[in-house]
Structure 1
């Protein structure tokens, strides 16, 4: 019964705490029933985890297969990988707690999950999509950790905290478990709170402000040909909106990804009534050049410049579009990216290293993932101290500041935003140093594995379920 209860509770908590629009508190609690069980019964905890993780991933597995059109065998393999990672993490934490290695269990075991997440980001074509960290994107004090460690530090904290709570809940009267658990929990809390306080209160060093506009209107399909009646009708609906934003002071207006199918020159002519007023318009389009098609963001202004999407969606775009391989920074401080590009932390770090302090991002999304995908972009901004302006055709329009504060948000369909931003801010430690936390995590995992298999000096031999020494170990 304990196995069934632990599996059911964790599965339900993962369903609510890890998905397209999770409840942040549930993510912290999801592993707790399994960890409590693992502190007493190793095999039961492993079996419960084997049940809990796949059940908790049902909603996301459906999204992967039906929305992203990932082949079913790949989805199954992905769920099995997550199951193995969850089982290994729970099992290692339980083994360390039972051996009295409380501090090691709390501080080292979460690093196993961190390394597992990073491995997925390398093996799968979706970047850092899979991270638990995005569940906390609306909890600004927590997400400030990404400016220090990237998403990996938030994932670490999401595992370390429930392990510490499990140690306290299973300690009973054993001070050898209570004291280190309390000490670790206090250290994690003070470190996180201290960093968050400093991050959220440090001087922004922002100079100058500008007004940016975003527009996303309904259309029958993406990439409507500009030279066809359907494209002209869409242009006739977009132009008044863009002109209205320009009239209200917007100097930059961002439209979604794949609005039109057109050449940069045709788009420049179409939006000339606006760009002649000194407004820069960023339009997502499909550009055909001979036998090559590209998903591009066209920057219309004093000069016409084109950025080609570097990270295409596997199975939906890579079979007919050619990826780009060049970054684009406009006016020395505005980086251009498209939708899925922001799933990759290295791209935003590269932009920041070359002077970009604001990202202008046409995007698409798939309606149901509007919250999740927009929050990935918010986290990219916090990681590097960058303002992110993102307009998604079937998701959300968002403008977020360098600390993750949402300056404006609207649901796409027939929506527009006008937001004042300060497009300069100090860089971040993670933006400058990269994935240093992964090296730290590897050291912790090696230490945890060594201690999990080594008995503490002076520890007694194995006992039976009744608490007595087995008959083979009793003195005659």
Structure 2
């Protein structure tokens, strides 16, 4: 009878393990920073997956966790319309990197818990933040982060003004390891009290900091009217693609010039209309106008004359085609005197999608009566260190000409808004084929308009002319480096604990706790 009861209990335990896996996998698909996401899922999915990997053999658990991470990456690509060969190869590798927190936790956290339950709980979140940071060094930038799933949670997101996005990822992942520690100890208050109070206190302090920042450090009350404009969808559809331009410049250059002139003239006319309606700064989207290199000087002369006549700052998103096959993706800033203040070339092209290579620009910074202005282009905003270069120079308004596609609407624009909170500047992201959005330095949306819900997209925003100081703008990704250092330190401590445990076993010394139990009986998993 006793054996039958034990077998029944083991079966229920085994089923529960895989229930956590199924639920964790399902929630992970809803915690992807894509078109469909649920912010709560980002908190619960790691907890359930961590619970699964802690209750099964390391090799099996981590293999299945790897499958979940790779599948999640593929779901993200499918949702975002990015199922291109290069992305399909690279993003599963990112899934492999993001499996490391589960692997290290499974192998080392039980040993660390013999020293300190708090230290053991820090391994998983530090590794999560460090892995996200390491991925950001690839040509795909910081597209992958748990932090992005918390868009709209402004009290929590104020933390990134100190730590960058990795602080929010840390808090979310720490919830998983703390929750798992509480779960393993069967919610026994005397055993879980220190860890529970520590995490609860840390989360309360983070949210309190966010609320205080939102309440008592409001953006500047003085504003400037900024207009973001895009050409009508009907005009854009008649504009040839880069490949078509390469063919037409050889076969029918006159017709190509006529098509590009229609686009450029519309942008100039709409700029004049918004200037006369009161805009002091006008922003075009990425490649909002297009021109042959031989005609660029003529277009710039017209734009400069317009800026001078209407007394505006004009940030031109401009695609310049140099036959036979060279393309420049530029943002050109012109002042009210008609002078070209800066010419910025896109630093980070989208791998496999943009038909040009990277440049080595830094975001320009210019003094104006409306604060310090800077500009970058679209995918550049997925690289926090690049955007922090402008933040470190006290930029007040970041202009971000952009061009998306329907499957990236609205998540790509929403991700870009994190750069504003990090660096203490307002951000104006004028996007064709996506969501145009303007936010202030605390993350409040000042204006937004969707390219796919209007034929002639115009975004009007009254933007604070003064930004704010943030710690992140000065120290950059220091928090991520500290997480990486902490992972190395905890891993070293965990390896040492493992060695000590097995030394004791070999010497036939009495041991208690999970390290001994797991060493003696790997088949049943750790005992806590």
Structure-1-length-normalised TM-score: 0.87
Q: Where in structure 2 are the equivalents of 1:163-202 lying within 5 Å?
A: 163-172=177-186, 174-175=188-189, 177-202=191-216
**Radius of gyration: which is bigger?**
2
1:305-336 Cα deviation digits (max 9, x unpaired): 4221111222333x535624243223351001
User: CA 1:229/1:322 → structure 2, altered by over 3 Å: closer, same or farther?
Assistant: same
Matched with 1:37 is 52
Counterparts of 1:465 and 1:53, CA distance in 2 = 28
Shift in Å at residue 154 of structure 1? 0.9
1:395-438 Cα deviation digits (max 9, x unpaired): 11010100111111111243211110112122101111122213
User: CA 1:248/1:432 → structure 2, altered by over 3 Å: closer, same or farther?
Assistant: same
Shift in Å at residue 139 of structure 1? 1.2
> Structure 1 unaligned runs (5+)?
471-476
Counterparts of 2:195 and 2:129, CA distance in 1 = 21
Residue from 264, 268, 274 that aligns with 2:300 = 268
Shift in Å at residue 86 of structure 1? 4.5
Does residue 1:284 correspond to 2:317, yes or no? yes
Counterparts of 2:282 and 2:174, CA distance in 1 = 43
1:271-303 Cα deviation digits (max 9, x unpaired): 444651112222211224687532101223421
Q: Where in structure 2 are the equivalents of 1:152-163 lying within 5 Å?
A: 152-163=166-177
Residue from 41, 49, 55 that aligns with 1:26 = 41
Matched with 2:148 is 134
Matched with 2:327 is 293
Moved more, 399-408 or 271-280: 271-280
Matched with 1:74 is 90
Does residue 1:323 correspond to 2:359, yes or no? yes
Counterparts of 1:48 and 1:72, CA distance in 2 = 19
User: CA 1:264/1:278 → structure 2, altered by over 3 Å: closer, same or farther?
Assistant: farther
Counterparts of 1:311 and 1:201, CA distance in 2 = 36
User: CA 1:63/1:86 → structure 2, altered by over 3 Å: closer, same or farther?
Assistant: farther
Q: In proportion to residue count, which structure has more helix?
A: 2
Counterparts of 1:126 and 1:153, CA distance in 2 = 20
Matched with 2:478 is 436
Shift in Å at residue 93 of structure 1? 7.3
Residue from 348, 356, 360 that aligns with 1:311 = 348
Matched with 1:460 is 512
Asked whether the 8 Å contact 2:219–2:468 carries over to 1, the reply is: yes
User: CA 1:64/1:215 → structure 2, altered by over 3 Å: closer, same or farther?
Assistant: closer
User: CA 1:266/1:3 → structure 2, altered by over 3 Å: closer, same or farther?
Assistant: farther
Counterparts of 1:67 and 1:267, CA distance in 2 = 37
Counterparts of 2:476 and 2:221, CA distance in 1 = 26
Count of matched residue positions in the alignment of Structure 1 and Structure 2: 465
Question: RMSD in angstroms over aligned alpha carbons?
Answer: 3.1
Structure 2 residue matching 1:283: 3-state secondary structure: strand
> Structure 2 unaligned runs (5+)?
1-14, 246-252, 502-509
Moved more, 70-79 or 13-22: 70-79
Structure 2 residue matching 1:206: 3-state secondary structure: coil
Does residue 1:370 correspond to 2:393, yes or no? no
Counterparts of 1:106 and 1:357, CA distance in 2 = 39
Shift in Å at residue 195 of structure 1? 2.0
Matched with 1:114 is 129
Shift in Å at residue 442 of structure 1? 2.9
Asked whether the 8 Å contact 2:113–2:119 carries over to 1, the reply is: no
Asked whether the 8 Å contact 1:268–1:300 carries over to 2, the reply is: no
User: CA 1:145/1:77 → structure 2, altered by over 3 Å: closer, same or farther?
Assistant: same
Shift in Å at residue 6 of structure 1? 2.2
Structure 1 residue matching 2:430: 3-state secondary structure: strand
User: CA 1:40/1:71 → structure 2, altered by over 3 Å: closer, same or farther?
Assistant: closer
